[in-house]
Structure 1
Amino acid sequence: MAERPGDQIETARSAAKEGVLADGGEDGAALREKWRLDTLREYHLLDTDPEQAFDRVTALVADLFDAPIALVSLVDDCRQWFKSAHGLDASETPRNISFCQHVVADERPVIVTDPLNDPRFADNPLVTGDPHIRFYAGVPLRAHNGAVLGTLCVIDREPREAPDAKAMQRLEDFAAIVMAEAELRRTAFERDEARRMLERALDFSSIAIWQFDPITDAIRWQGAAAELWGGDFAAALPTAEAVFGRIHPDDRAMVRAAVDEAVSSGAPYATEFRVQHPERGVRWLAGRADWDVRLNEAVLTGINVDITEQKSRQENANLLMRELHHRMRNLFATVGAIISLTRHSADGVDDYVERINSRLDALNRAQNVLLGANFMTGSMHALMREVEAAFPRIHWTGPDLLLPENALVAMALLFNELATNAVKHGALSTEHGRVEVSWTQEGGEEDDRRFRMTWTETGGAQVVGAPQRTSFGTLLMERSVRNNLGGTIERHWEPTGLVCEITLPARWREA
């Protein structure tokens, strides 16, 4: 069976670690040394101040072995640095002359009874010069992962016999104590670093954390409290009563009731409310909390999250749904009126179906434009592109304007009736006929501004005058212009074809 991705990653990590530990040759040694030095830096001990916990160990070891010098030595890349140096004033020595480097290299205790008789150390400056080492016994300081970071060693200025196994075991026990102390510092540093990272993450996440003590009314804050409650939160909001003062007056009683219910019943707390943020104005917050029981006391630990944008989107969605409902009612009313009135002007079932389909197509063109925008306004150019797609020989020019829904529907029906009549009786009934539509929106005082549009047909059948009877289409055009748009419509039958002029109050802004 195939390994899961997580298992594959863990296998790869284990293989890499084993490669570092077991690989031979120069490359393997370099990798192993890098791994050891990386481990050493995890403990954050290099170049730190003296500490009693380590100094006590070297003092005890020196006394136990009756030796003048005892060291906690950490072997860095180019030096050995002494975290504790009992009986020695130096804080470090070069690594290449150190005795401790041999303990690190061999990863086992090293005992030198007389360096002058050992070819490795006979010419060593630490032997021929200060501190005149004549005896050395060092044991490894092993990290949590097995890496040897340095040594705990004893040094004498006189040659002496090798310590027995019991004495070396004691030295290794003290080395374990040194590493236990170092491990405490490593884990404390990791804990503090993790806490700092968490606090920074909370700041970036815009989440405020709080703890409320119902007995003292005190509140402690962490995270993005300044962003959610105001930059003065530490001084201004130390108690729940002060927090209630910053909650919006209309929501204050509701939040107080939710907190009182949580306190009295021990249930979790959850609510949404507005706050009067001193820098950002009114903001919506969500609050969630549960009880943290500690011995005989309980505190309510919770979070706040800014939900202003979500509330705004929800309000806009509700507004849009109400507007859509209103538009749909208007649309159904328009469709109903078209169906009812078309019935009286149709010459038969086929004619009735054709007229209904044509007018419903006009409504569909208007709805396509509205759907492409925001349901409330539509572009004049977008509407004309829909008309041109249905009637390709209609050409148009004019500024793009934003029409409200009722005006867009009225214009769509107007163009449809004009185009349908042109197909049946006018310019679009012949192969070479065409229609030119142009409009302008005049400037001037707002009350006197006018929208003027001209529909001009050429190349069609010769129509010498107005129809003998007023059709429903004509009535629909006149009602669209006069009743819905508050304008005028005039039609002239010129020798070249129909010219229709429409004048409306200029209430539309440019897109």
Structure 2
Amino acid sequence: MAAAGTLEADRLSALQALNILDTPPEERFDRLTRIASAAFDVPIALVSLVDEERQWFKSCIGLTGSEDDRAVSFCSIAIESPQPLVIPDTHLDPRVAHMRVVTGPPYLRFYAGVPITTATGFRVGTVCIADTKPRQLGATEIALLRDIARIAEDELNHKDLSEALASWRESEQRFRAVFHEAAIGMTMVDESGRIVEANRAFAAMIEIPAGELRGVPVSAITHPADRGGDNVDKLFSGELDRYRREKRYVRPDGTWFWAALTASILRDRDGRPDVTIGMVEDISERKEVERLKDELVSVVGHELKTPLTSIRGSLGLLEAGVAGELSVEAADMVRIARENTERLTRLVEETLDLERLHAGRVELEVRSVTPVDLLAATAQVVQPVADAAGVALEWQAPGDLELFVDPDRIVQALVNLVGNAIKFSPPGASVRTMVKAHGANVLISVMDEGRGIPPEQLEAVFERFRQVDASDHREKGGTGLGLPISRAIIEQHAGRIWAESEPGAGATFRITLPLPQGKPPVAVYDRRAPRRAQLARAVRRLGRRVETFDDPEVLAEAEGFALVLVSGAGLDGVELDLPVVKVDAENLDASVAEALA
């Protein structure tokens, strides 16, 4: 133990001797994290140094702040060995599965780090990458991460410039080798929008030899309906660090395929923008699955809902004795059939409801309402359920708050939350629902005195068909869709919903909704329902009232709005008395904030 303590003391002394801790950002390190983020298509890349009690980020992409506790540092584990540390799935690794960066934000699922060493041989930090989903790294990719770490090591130790340049060139050669051999499609595009280089995978997707793609404008192989959405100019100007979009690429024979494109900038050794690097993933199969799912939902809606309603009504009439008095056995069978039919009907209705919410096909009917009105409407629905369960309901809300929401949808979410609280409360317990102002938001809390929720399931309860306990489905009933629907409703209002609990001490579900600012409302126009919903959420997040339009003539007659926000064409030639501002759909929140500033 003493020898280990001495070694750690020497390591810390070597780290301090570098005189780099708590120094400002430097382009020579920032360049490496940008390359790592782009080369591996990960949201998080770090040059991290491990101090006595913390890990400090000399360069960081994807995380806020400049340091974190060493106790939650994967890099602290990585420096224990000279070999790379690769954790394909953090949930399966007992060394890190319990850490708060895994169980909470940023919910890390993948990590790969290579130690960086001082000239005296002490491992003082890492170059590492991380993601919020599990991943695997091949031998070639690990070799590339090693090369980036060696460059960081050279910079850290201030080696001779010629050696650093030689290392850079070698690393660049390795990067290009990885580029060409990667299984995912990759492109390099210059400032004019022409392809500089494309790898074999992309060439196979587009069915054009890689050599023939050099110099070809990206627009020439993009579906006409999707042209103009690539933000190459904004990457080169520095307005964006990266962007992601879904688009269609067109092959020489006229066929096309859907792809998810993630693009970011690569800079030269002097920090100047060099080329954009794009990661292209063929998502045609996923798009087809989505289309089939939408068709299935449509079939369910039209082919099942109506006959189920008819069956439920017929069974209800039989149970009421319309066809004559039934025997005890027959009455029980009819009752069971009716209850199961009602449950199946609820499942169909809630599944359709959730799909419409996620697809953005539900238009909010927003109007002014007070929290008192919302709680009163909720109480009318849940009070009979509470009385039957022997649970007391308590309501508390200020009378001077005003919300601009769709009251029917918010009441639907509250009914789900309060109904769940009643379901999991013992007889004689209380369920309290409280509303109060909370900064620029209103905070709604639903608190019960039930058994609580285990910490690892606080987020999982919002997944479809998820129950805290497998027996709950049989004992408590329900479809398992109430909480997912509630989350979708709250998020459509630009709010947030989450759970807090300690096992055995009850559970609290909290909702925040933005309070409206005292400014004129904003009009949003788009013929596409999903895009209207996205624009409206972005406006509500800023506390502004909003109304959506899909008809130019109706919009032309509207009054009292500050301006109109649009994300596409459709208002050309329409005379409006309002200023019209076109927002950038790829950078929606920032563009809307700028328009409303």
**TM-score, normalized by the shorter chain, greater than 0.5:** no
Instruction: Give the structure-1-normalised TM-score.
Output: 0.30
Instruction: Give the structure-2-normalised TM-score.
Output: 0.26
Select the structure of larger CA radius of gyration: 1
